Amino acid sequence: MTKNDAADDQEISPSRLIDQRIQELDDWRGKTLAKVRTLIKQAEPDVVEEWKWRGVPVWSRDGIICTGETYKSVVKLTFAKGASLEDPSRLFNSSLEGNTRRAIDIRENEDMNEEALKALVRAAAALNASTRKKPKNG
């Protein structure tokens, strides 16, 4: 993205910016990001797509569920409250040392456990909803 493109970011919807990122990548990372995006939307149809920190796709519902960063050798899905989620399929394979976040690094030609990923997304959304501050009656 050029500087002019970045200046226009505020005028373009976050979903469109994610579309553009996927097209720009034009390799396995774009295909992988598109696939996880589809799985996230299947798991949580009411998810909100956001674009934060100068170019990071974010999926939220009552708070951040996860981010989707792309690097040279991985597509990284970072779950904001991953340390609080059960992961029976052991998808989390990165950022394991922290007290809050957990991440999944997806490498080229790596199989993805789609059902387990959707279960994590649903669990993250449920956790966000359960810890959301309730409005005070007054």
Which residues, listed in sequence order, are joined to residue 59 by a DSSP beta bridge?
49, 66
Q: In this structure, are strands 102-106 and 75-79 parallel, antiparallel, or unpaired? A: antiparallel
pLDDT digits (tens, 9 = 90+) for 84-131: 999 999 999 999 998 999 999 999 999 999 999 999 999 999 999 998
Burial of 124 (0-12, 13-18, 19+ CB in 10 A): buried
Contact 26, 92 (CB under 8 A): no
For residues 21 and 52, the answer to whether their CB atoms sit within 8 Å is no
Quick check: 138 pLDDT over 70? Answer: no
Which amino acid is it at 120? Answer: L
Specify the 3-state DSSP secondary structure of 129: helix
* 49 within 8 A of 80, measured Cβ to Cβ: no
Distance CA 72, CA 52 (A): 20
pLDDT for 136 equals 62
pLDDT exceeds cutoff 90 at 38: yes
pLDDT at residue 11, as a whole number: 75
Cβ 37 vs Cβ 18: under 8 Å: yes
CA distance 74 to 122: 23
* Tokens at 17, concatenated: 């910016």
Domains annotated for the chain, with CATH where assigned, are 3-131 (3.90.1150.200)
What pTM value is reported for the model?
Answer: 0.86
On average, the pLDDT of the chain sits at 90
- pLDDT tens column, 60-90: 999 999 999 999 999 999 999 999 999 999 9
